[in-house]
Structure 1
Amino acid sequence: MFDDNDLAANDDAILMRIADLRQQHKDLDDAVVALSLGPQPDQLQIARLKRQKLVLRDKIAELEDRLTPDIIA
């Protein structure tokens, strides 16, 4: 079975992964803004980056859900 140390280590790994995904999300957001400011923005590339941001957002939400314990009411 798992002890508290294993669970804490797993939570730490999840938190580190969330931080990494948030940084990637911010980098994509910065890229979208930079592309949008150009004289002729590449709408296809912007749409691809936004889709990647949504995928990252879903992964972040999934990992955050793992950190929240299920409470049976």
Structure 2
Amino acid sequence: MNLKLVKSLAEIINNLSLEEQQILGTMINLIQDNKQTENQSWHEFIENTYGSIQDETFVRHSQGSFEQRELFE
């Protein structure tokens, strides 16, 4: 985390008028809402596409063999 940048941003925000701070807060909430919408649409995409291949000849081929590795302790 860049603390110098965070401190600079905090100073800028503290120097904004109340109206500017409210507008900034609204903009931040809109950005967060858009991210949640993107996540929801991604989950909906997965739910709608999972198991959607109806072709019976579509198969997952063998994944091959992998070397045995030491176990972590």
Report the TM-score when normalising by structure 2.
0.48
Larger radius of gyration: 2
Report the TM-score when normalising by structure 1.
0.48
Higher relative contact order (CA 8 A, sep 6+): 1
Which structure has more helix as a fraction of its residues?
1
